[in-house]
Amino acid sequence: MKSILVTGGCGFIGSNFVRLALRRLPECRLVNLDQLTYAGNPRNLADIEDDPRYRFVHGDICEAELVGRLFAEETIDTIVHFAAESHVDRSIDAPAEFIRTNILGTFTLLEAARKAWLANPGSQLPVPENCRFLHVSTDEVYGSLGNTGFFRETTPYHPRSPYSASKASSDHLVSAYHHTYGMPTLTTNCSNNYGPYHFPEKLIPLIISNALEGKTLPVYGDGKNVRDWLYVEDHCQAILRVLEQGRVGETYNLGGNNEKQNIEVVTTICDLLDQKVGRLPDGHPRTDLIRFVQDRPGHDRRYAIDASKIREELGWLPLVTFEEGIRRTIDWYLGNLEWVAAVRDGSYRDYYEGMCADRLNGG
Ligand code: NAD
Ligand code: DAU
């Protein structure tokens, strides 16, 4: 049985991944180490929390003693590392936590893996051939594109926000551990995700929740910045594919081939909500709620991924078009208004604290 340590499994992509991995890998045991920052919501995994192949551990990836203990206790042979501070705007307001979690946290995990997998090859611990350290990263490490061109795995790094600089730094550490110590690493650099359990500070879930509540819809700058949207389930499938078939030491770019200007995304959401739940109470369309606001400092203009390497080497393709994915996403939010309300009013923080405090330390 494989023993997988997932970090940040209570976040947006991590929770989608945990659910998919338990379904797709019947022979795996999965340990989810999550600090439950504001972005971590254990309710995201309420439907699988009693699965005997799953264990939740409340903790910080920067705590070397805890991480080392988990490696030993669970004989971890695989890491899928999602845990990070992930929101660009927060990194502009308060970068310190991004440096700590994204850089020091990744370093702590790499050190734990090095000690467990590489220092004692003669011990009972798994040998490196069975082990994988999969680092989940972002296309933002490459910087910003003009009107043409795509990010390839060979594109030079040029991060431009504290968030992307911290992710770039973690990518370099992962690469260095492969080259220096032979760590069996895999890195994925992915474009913007969207789908169920997306925290409503990010563009798509923020616009859906505000538009439902009749609140204003903030669009930064001229609204013409472009992102390449990938449905979260396609991203999780790609991670499994890389884990199972990726070449050790390689990086793989993942994208949805769905380039959209922000204003296009926002108007699409408004139009779909008007169709699905009716216009605003005063009869106006939801697009009337759009407000162009001050731009994000250093706002990257365009991201677009060339995903031909993973397509040609591993046969992965995104299956969900933006038109289909955005409908599914809106339907998920409409079907989970309680989840949205609990996140918006902060009561999601009580879920474990109040009801299941005894499980917090992995009991
Ligand atoms: P998220 O913010 O929704 O979730 C992050 C999770 O990490 C939360 O559960 C949080 O509690 C946990 N966490 C934070 N600091 C921690 C720490 N010190 N110790 C343990 N757990 C901690 O993030 P997401 O959007 O799901 O992104 C997951 C990963 O994917 C990140 O590494 C991000 O850089 C990368 N990524 C995200 C996107 C995207 O569009 N969301 C795209 C490409 C790559
Ligand atoms: O490209 C991958 C990255 O995508 C991930 O690495 C990050 O973790 C993830 O947060 C995301 O970063 P972005 O900055 O692209 O996502 P965000 O949803 O914050 O913004 C998307 C675009 O929408 C961006 O151009 C900024 C704009 N925006 C965002 C918000 C929150 C607005 O116009 N208004 C808003 O209120």
State the catalytic residues. 139-140, 163
Band the pLDDT of 129: cuts 50, 70, 90. Answer: confident
* Closest listed ligand to the CA of 209: 2
Nearest to 249 by CA among 316, 153, 138: 153
The residues pairing with 187 across neighbouring beta strands, listed in sequence order, are 135, 251
363 band by pLDDT with thresholds 50, 70 and 90: very low
Both tokens of 293, joined, read 């606001």
pLDDT reading at 358 higher than 50: no
- pLDDT-derived band at 101 (thresholds 50, 70, 90) equals very high
User: Could you tell me the distance, in angstroms and rounded to a whole number, from the CA of residue 8 to the centre of ligand 1?
Assistant: 6
Q: Is 140 in the pocket of ligand 2 (CB under 6 A)?
A: yes
Are 193 and 155 in contact by the 8 Å Cβ rule? The answer is no
Among 97, 161, 202, 261, name the best residue to mutate to test ligand 2's pocket (greatest count of ligand atoms within 8 A of Cβ). Answer: 202
The CATH architecture annotation of domain 3-197+230-257+300-320+347-360 reads: 3-Layer(aba) Sandwich (3.40)
Beta carbon of 260 within 6 Å of any ligand 2 atom: no
What pLDDT, in 10s, does the model give residues 102-111?
999 999 999 9
Report CA(321)–ligand 1 centroid distance (Å): 24
Q: According to the model, what pLDDT value does residue 350 have?
A: 86
pTM for the structure as a whole? 0.97
> In this predicted model, what pLDDT tens digit does every residue of 211-233 receive, in sequence order?
999 999 999 999 999 999 999 99
pLDDT digits (tens, 9 = 90+) for 142-153: 999 999 999 999
The minimum-distance atom of ligand 1 relative to the CA of 100 is 18
Q: What is the pLDDT of residues 39-85, one digit of tens each?
A: 999 999 999 999 999 999 999 999 999 999 999 999 999 999 999 99
% residues pLDDT > 70 (the chain): 94
CA 135 to ligand 1 centroid distance, Å: 11
Residue 282's Cβ-count burial label (10 Å; 0-12, 13-18, 19+) is: exposed
* Mean pLDDT, residues 226-255: 98
Q: Where are the domains of the chain?
A: 3-197+230-257+300-320+347-360
More confident site: 228 or 356: 228
The answer on pLDDT for 123 being more than 90 is: no
With a 6 Å cutoff on the Cβ, whether 231 touches ligand 2 is: no
| pLDDT tens digits along 306-333 | 999 999 999 999 999 999 999 999 999 9
Dump pLDDT digits (tens) for 190-199.
999 999 999 9
Q: Which of 92, 164, 219, 262 to mutate to test the pocket of ligand 2 (most atoms within 8 A of CB)?
A: 262
Ligand 1 atom nearest the C-alpha of 38 is: 11
pLDDT of 169 > 60? The answer is yes
CA of 219 to the centre of ligand 2 (A): 11
Q: What's the confidence (pLDDT) of residue 360? A: 46
Distances (CA, A) of 346 to 1, 30, 38, 39, 50: 38, 28, 9, 11, 24
pLDDT at residue 325 in the model: 98
Residue 89 CA to ligand 1 centre (angstroms): 14
Q: How confident is the model at residue 120 (pLDDT cuts 50, 70, 90)?
A: low
C-alpha 195 – ligand 1 centre gap (Å): 14
Q: What is the mean pLDDT of residues 15-38?
A: 97
Measured CA to CA in angstroms, residue 108 lies from 63, 68, 116, 141 at distances of 7, 9, 12, 21
pLDDT at 1: 76
Mean pLDDT, the chain, rounded, equals 94
Q: Ligand 1 — pocket residues by CB below 6 A?
A: 7-8, 10-14, 33-37, 39-40, 60-62, 82-84, 86, 101, 105, 136, 138, 167, 190, 192-193, 199
Q: Cα 182 vs. chain centroid, distance in angstroms?
A: 26
| pLDDT value of residue 59 | 97
Convert the pLDDT of each residue in 264-320 to its tens digit.
999 999 999 999 999 999 999 999 999 999 999 999 999 999 999 999 999 999 999
For 11, the token pair is: 């976040």
Cβ atoms of 217 and 266 closer than 8 Å: yes
| pLDDT above 70 (res 125) | no
